[in-house]
Amino acid sequence: MNLYVHFPFCRRKCTYCALHSRAGSTEERRANYVEALARRAAELHGPLSTIYFGGGSPALCDLRPLFAVLKPLMAENCEFTVELHPLDVTRDALAALRAGGVNRISMGVQSLDDATLAHMGRGYTFDEAESAFALVREYFDNAGIDLIVGYPMASDGARLERLAGWGLKHCSVYSLILEERSILAKMVERQGLKLPSDDEVLDRIREVSRFLKSIGLRRYEISNYAVPGFECRHNMAVWRGEDYIGLGEGAQGRIGLTRTASGVAETVSQETDEKERRLFRLRTIEGLDASGHPEWIKPLDKFADEGLLAKTDEVYRLTERGSEVCDSILAELV
């Protein structure tokens, strides 16, 4: 079984974010939240193959009560990931995470440009993020970062090469989505901030992708790159259609035909469940096995003829061009 735990707490709301989060919560409120999660986790049955703490900023909380409950439930080779904000990175925090069973870190850098980081409200510079990740690498070999491409005014190309010395095992590269409820959306509307064109964003993603390949990270999912053997097992489990439990205010889960989101459960049909679990695979390097779905063959073959998919028997994989329009391909299949 796989477990995702959501922590909504943040120092402040980043300009691009419209996710469920709470800025400025008290230490008491965070402690109560962790205790509630620990009570829920005590009801789970192991073994847990993967655990993922996402946010928000999980390390704003004292996670030890939750570690104590989860440790006995962890499989022998459990992958345990915690997302970190660079400002969370201290020796004491990293030592506590390692003692709690964590063995993988994902640090949200988001941009390599100081002006962009300030505009995002991240609270650190590129040099500070670089120092934070160097400290992370002293405690965790399996560590990577997140980047966002397409933020207004971003100019971080000159610093991309410096990532070569970071020892990255993983990198997620996301295109900016202008969320309607975000601070950034209001800035674009009221201040006339100009977003990069789609072509500019795609060019930037190609540039980052080429660079990551040059330092040994292969693209194994649309937005994710890793040194072979360091792919995120938790996310791969989700994309492969495995069940996962979601705990916390903003968590989602999938158990059998039941889907949960923020504590609300919904039951889907067998047909919807099977298609959902299988279609997610198209996002990955493993590709989509269309066997048993003759209705998919014609549109998939059309995309293959257009150079968007590569076909081996009844397995279809995205080409480099196809990865740029995956959502459109999936929409036609659904």
Residue 171 and residue 105 in one domain: yes
Residue 207 and residue 67 in one domain: yes
**In this structure, are residues 227 and 164 in contact, taking their beta carbons and an 8 Å threshold?**
no
**In this structure, are residues 255 and 243 in contact, taking their beta carbons and an 8 Å threshold?**
yes
Residue 222 and residue 306 in one domain: no
Residue 193 and residue 322 in one domain: no
Residue 166 and residue 27 in one domain: yes
Residue 154 and residue 224 in one domain: yes
Q: Which of 236, 262, 294 is the last residue of a domain?
A: 236
3-state SS assignment for residue 72? helix
Residue 285 and residue 232 in one domain: no
Tell me the pairing of strands 224-226 and 74-84: unpaired
CA dihedral 31, 35, 41, 42 (to 10 degrees): 150
Residue 176 and residue 308 in one domain: no
| Spatial CA neighbour of 47 closest among 24, 81, 70, 15 | 70
Answer whether residue 63 is part of any domain: yes
Q: Which CATH number characterizes residue 182's domain?
A: 3.20.20.70
The residue segments making up the domain with residue 117 are 2-236
Residue 78 and residue 203 in one domain: yes
Q: What is the pLDDT along the chain (334 residues), one digit of tens a residue?
A: 999 999 999 998 898 987 777 888 899 999 999 999 999 999 999 899 999 999 999 999 999 999 999 999 999 999 999 999 999 999 999 999 999 999 999 999 999 999 999 999 999 999 999 999 999 999 999 999 999 999 986 666 668 999 999 999 999 999 998 888 899 998 888 888 888 998 999 999 999 999 999 999 999 999 999 999 999 999 999 999 999 999 999 899 999 999 999 889 999 999 999 999 999 999 999 999 999 999 999 999 999 999 999 999 899 999 999 999 999 999 999 8
Answer whether residue 241 is part of any domain: no
Residue 70 and residue 122 in one domain: yes
pTM: 0.94
Whole-angstrom distance, CA of residue 1 vs CA of residue 319: 31
Q: Which of 236, 263, 292 is the last residue of a domain?
A: 236
State the total domains in the chain. 2
Q: Which of 206, 236, 266 is the last residue of a domain?
A: 236
Answer whether residue 215 is part of any domain: yes
Answer whether residue 267 is part of any domain: no
